Structure 1
Amino acid sequence: MTTTTPAESASADDLACAPFFLRGDLEEGAEITHHSRDLGVAFTTPRIALNRAVHPRTEVPPLLDVPVAEIIDFLVETGRRLRDPANPFLAQCLDRMSATHVLPRAVLEAQVRGAADYLDERLLWTVVEQNFPEPRALDEWIPKRDFTGRKSFVRAFAPRLIHVLPGNSPGVAVKSIAQGALVKAVNLFKMPSSDPFTTVAMLRTMADIDPCHAIVRSMSALYWRGGDETVERALYRPQYFDKIVAWGGGEAIDNVTRYLGPGLQLVSFDPKTSISLVGREAFTSDDTLDLAAELAASDVMVLNQEACVASRFIFLEAAAPEADRFCERLHARIVAKAAASGDARPLDGDLREQIDTLMLLGEDYRVWGKTDGAGLVIRSDEPVDFHPINKTANVVRVNSLDDAVGYVTVATQTVGCYPFDRMADYRDRLASGGAQRIVRLGEAGPSTIGNPHDAMYPLHRFVHWMAHEDGATENP
């Protein structure tokens, strides 16, 4: 990813413009030209006014005294407007994002419109109640008394957050804005180069409802190149922010950690790999084999395998001939799902080269499909030593699913399991290995509302827990 001035690139009039949003105000301009990470497509932004991106600590956060119930009402109305086909901000966002993002427009539109479903009243209340045993702590100081009689008050105080958003899923922007509002935070969103549009489109939708609302005044969204020290050394400071909420790949997380220290913490959604466990029961009949292959393909193809929950490795309890029967069916279903999505991206050069090498290694590896982006399955007795992506699944043959547990690490997020009645047999061992979630095969995408994410309750970690002890003691 590079940054140039417009004079060094195409005319700014020919490029997609990515405006900023600063504490309620839209800022447009084309002073700086950037390039998206995956496609290298140029887009322009204004220059960053760093002084406008920071909310002074001498001022309490705008949302502090706004009841959670009112915040949820505003988010619900925002969701209604995001689902409106006539929303001009979202239409413009999708037009521009289609040029910078690797996923087809239809997939992106489904992601953004679907993410608006997060802005549901029952869902948002469930998230709050699951994250906070005492949700009133978001609205007021909660009185406490310990067994010695000492009195105190505790509050989940509004934090100051920088959100480093991921480039693979535009829906995360919608969820992050909602979560930032629920904890009444002052929020600065660093947008990704593949999607420097969705966050501002949602914030503009909010401003269209009420430009003076405290939620709107609590939100800012900017783009800068990750690692740009002129910006990050100025902003990533404890005098301005409490925590950095970082999504993304290893390089993005490593970059953020350089700035951590006393007073500035990291809440990290690290890069994760998800897997599947398929037991020998899949071979009971042709129908069960077809079912297992369909469910596995659904997990592989979550967001066309761009999502962390998408399965990369399928550990299959089978002999080689049986494994090949499964792979054939799996490949056919991945190809069908890829074609239906309209995503025909070929694999990148390094991945193609590694797979072409595997094809020369005889019976230790077998490959179904080509490296043309239409869908590919690799069968092996050990996991491949590269990261399967772009509709590429590695089926690893094992004699027992017990053997698969040894491959689970702290980077393993979701584990899809078939048959379903074997899940309870493995959940403790999977958790011990570092996995964070076990689901029925085929259900990697949907999740139970309010459950932990990446082994934590995120909103509980976002807030600044403040204690007021009045020093008085009484007999208990």
Structure 2
Amino acid sequence: MTMTEPVVAAPFFLRGELVEDQSVTHRSRDLGVVFATPAIDLDRAVHPRTEVPPLLNVPLSEIIDFLVETGERIRDPKNPFVQECIDRMAATHVLPRAVLRAQVYGATTYLDKRLLHTVVEQNFPDPKALDEWVPKQDFKGRKSFVRAFAPRLIHVLPGNSPGVAVKSIAQGALVKAVNLFKMASSDPFTTVAILRTMAGIDPDHPIVRSMSAVYWRGGDDAVEQVLYRPQYFDKIVAWGGGDAIDNVVKYLGPGFQLVSFDPKTSISMVGREAFASGAALEAAAELAATDVMVLNQEACVASRFIFVEANREDADRFCERVHTRIVEKAAASGDSRPLDLDLREQVDMLAMMGDEFRVWGRTDGKGLVIRSDEPVDFHPINKTANVVRVDSLDDVVKYVNVATQTVGCYPFERMPDYRDRLASAGAQRIVRLGEAGPSTIGNPHDAMYPLHRFVHWMAHEDGVQAG
């Protein structure tokens, strides 16, 4: 770090208290921007197991009311914590400020009373188990009580979407967890801004006292060998790339589990019906570009590969239209990041390989489409779509695996024909083309019901019922 290089401050939040210090400097992953944090007080980051979680006996209805009020406070344009967060994040994140701002505010739609109740009801057959010991009795007359007990969770947050912080805090509160959030280097701000907003409502609320947010460099053994232990935490809820997940796995063992939202790739399937008319072609191209540009292609649900059931001439017509729309959407967002050097070299090489590949656009960050007969062997990102020509959509299934998250399909009426085969291959979600971003409230995420997996399921057995 040079003497003139600016430093962005990133405070911590530990069990209800703000910690402001700039004794440790780091660099953000993507842009290399310097930010400064306090040193981690590991004792304060851990809630002793000798103390029951602060939220354990707080009614779920009260928790939801508090989350709803938090959403209202986040959306308040006078909220200084959120405005400061967006300003600082704009210096460390690859996405433009306007996109980040929209992400933060858009994420607050999750903090809706009806939505939160729906999420709980979909995750738990009997939501009362979150609030009390639910009595049960089997057919032999043996009685027991079961509770979805408040867990101790470490959340390893991703850097691509600040909105995940809002959702993760809400989910941690809904299951009444003790939560330690490990923030990402590209966004060591959003989580603390939300928790400061909560503290502004009630600094002594059990939700506030259940939350901590810190940053350390992933893989730092001095921190992780201390924290990643079953005597302190039950589970790691990990988002992120392959390296982040691989780093967590080595600490797993009896009593210390992983709930992983691991790296995913999403795709699109466009049938021959898209070429039945000019209007159909225009519609399919718009829907495909919409899925490519979810969070400017930074989200896992954003399409990378578009499989098109067409001959080469029709595939090229489709590519031209998709490229035009990606360029329009990128320009509207203000995102003009050029492709990184490795990706630029890969694309430039393909452009020189003749008819087998064709490229629309340049590697200048304005939008790019590559047409091929097989998927390219690199990861399309930063407004880059690979359109793969196939003779039949049946051929797409061989390219699907457990890392395939969302599959957008056109025409919509062909979705039932493929959902069983896609699920068998490992895919986790099929949607109408153009609807990769929104999702049905309470549905599984990455092939699981997350809240159901977060909790510590505890049974109290009380013998055979008399009489």
TM range, normalised to the smaller chain? over 0.9
Deviations 1:415-464 (A, max 9, x none): 00000000010000000000000000000000000000000000000000
Q: Using the alignment, how far apart are the partners of 1:258 and 1:245 within structure 2?
A: 14
Report matched runs for 1:435-454 at 5 Å. Answer: 435-454=427-446
Residues 129 and 90 of structure 1: CA distance in aligned 2, closer, same or farther (over 3 Å)? same
Name 1:66's counterpart in structure 2: 58
Q: In the alignment, what sits opposite 1:5? A: none
Cα distance in 2 for partners of 1:453, 1:315 equals: 24
Please give the alpha-carbon distance, in whole angstroms, between the structure 1 residues aligned to 2:91 and 2:388: 36
Q: Any idea what the Cα deviations from partners look like across 1:9-44, whole Å, max 9, x if unmatched? A: 5479x4110000000000000000000000000000
Secondary structure of the structure 2 residue equivalent to 1:471: strand
1:201 equivalenced with 2:232 (yes/no): no
How far apart, in 2, do the equivalents of 1:93 and 1:339 lie?
24
TM-score (norm 1): 0.97
Asked if 1:212 corresponds to 2:204, the answer is yes
User: In the alignment, which of 270, 273, 289 is matched to residue 265 of structure 2?
Assistant: 273
Contact 1:164 1:245 in 2 (8 A): yes
Residue identity opposite 1:176 in structure 2: S
Q: Determine the structure 1 residue equivalent to 2:373.
A: 381
Q: 2:385 aligns with which of 383, 389, 393?
A: 393
User: Counterparts of 1:157-196 in structure 2 under 5 Å?
Assistant: 157-196=149-188
Aligned CA-pair RMSD: 0.9
Q: Whole-Å Cα distance in 2 between the matches of residues 129 and 190 of structure 1? A: 28
Q: 1:28 — aligned with what? A: 20
Q: CA deviation at 1:470?
A: 1.2
CA distance in 1, matches of 2:180, 2:4: 29
Give 1:453-472 correspondences, 5 Å limit. Answer: 453-472=445-464
Corresponding residue SS for 2:463: coil
Contact 1:9-1:33 within 8 A present in 2 as well: no
Quote the residue 1:75 is aligned against. Answer: 67
Which of 108, 130, 143 aligns to 2:122? It is: 130
Distance 1:464 1:268 in 2: 16
Rounded to whole Å, the distance in 2 between the matches of 1:40 and 1:474 is: 68
- Counterpart amino acid of residue 151 in structure 1: K
Partner Cα distance (1:474, 1:108) in 2 = 61
Post-superposition offset of 1:472? 3.0
CA distance in 1, matches of 2:337, 2:2: 26
Aligned-residue offset at 1:158: 0.1
Where does structure 2 lack aligned partners over 5 or more consecutive residues?
A: none
Equivalent-residue separation in structure 1 for 2:463 and 2:179 (angstroms) = 34
Distance in 1, Cα, partners of 2:145 & 2:2: 57
Provide the residue aligned with 1:103 in structure 2.
Answer: 95
Match of 2:220 in 1: 228
Q: Secondary structure at the match of 2:464?
A: coil
Name which of 345, 353, 367 aligns with 1:353: 345
Query: Are residues 1:298 and 2:290 paired?
Result: yes
Distance in 2 separating the partners of 1:298 and 1:281: 19
- Corresponding letter in the other structure for 2:139: F
**Aligned residue in 2 for 1:259:** 251
Deviation at 1:474, TM superposition (A): 4.6
Give 3-state SS (helix, strand or coil) of 1:325's partner: helix
1:339 paired to 2:319: no
Opposite residue 280 of structure 1, the aligned amino acid is R
- Residue aligned with 2:399, SS: coil
Q: 1:445, 1:19 → 2: CA distance?
A: 31
Quote the offset at 1:471 in angstroms.
2.3
Q: Distance in 1 between matches of 2:30 and 2:156?
A: 17
Partner residue, 1:406: 398
CA distance in structure 2 between the partners assigned to 1:86 and 1:395 by the alignment: 45
The separation in 2 between residues aligned to 1:66 and 1:201, in whole angstroms, is 23
> Aligned-pair distance for 1:473?
4.6
Indicate which of 75, 80, 83 corresponds to 1:88. 80
**1-structure distance, mates of 2:396, 2:46:** 48
Secondary structure at the counterpart of residue 253 of structure 2: coil
Alpha-carbon distance between aligned partners in 2 of 1:446 and 1:84, rounded to the nearest angstrom: 24
Structure 2: distance between partners of 1:431 and 1:10? 55
Alignment partner, residue 110 of structure 2: 118
* Cα pair distance change 1:109/1:422, threshold 3 Å: same
Paired amino acid for 1:289: L
Is contact 1:414-1:438 (8 Å) kept? yes
1:367 corresponds to which of 359, 364, 389: 359
TM-score, with structure 2 as normaliser: 0.99
In structure 1, distance between residues paired with 2:320 and 2:3: 46
| Counterparts of 2:334 and 2:270, CA distance in 1 | 28
Tell me the distance in 1 between the aligned counterparts of 2:87 and 2:405. 32
Kept in 2, the 8 Å contact 1:148–1:474? The answer is: no
After TM superposition, give the deviation of residue 194 of structure 1 in Å. 0.1
Q: Secondary structure at 2:55's aligned position in 1?
A: coil
Task: Classify the secondary structure of the residue corresponding to 1:168.
Answer: coil
Structure 2 CA distance, aligned partners of 1:358 and 1:11? 41
**1:131-188 deviations in Å (ceiling 9; x for gaps):** 0010000000000000110000000000000000000000000000000000000000
What letter corresponds to residue 198 of structure 1 in structure 2? T
Distance, in Å, in 2 between the alignment partners of 1:298 and 1:291 is 11
Corresponding residue of 1:3: none
Q: How far did residue 313 of structure 1 move?
A: 0.2
| 2: CA distance, partners of 1:226 / 1:191 | 10
User: Which AA in structure 1 matches 2:361?
Assistant: G
User: Which residue identity lines up with residue 120 of structure 1 in the other structure?
Assistant: D
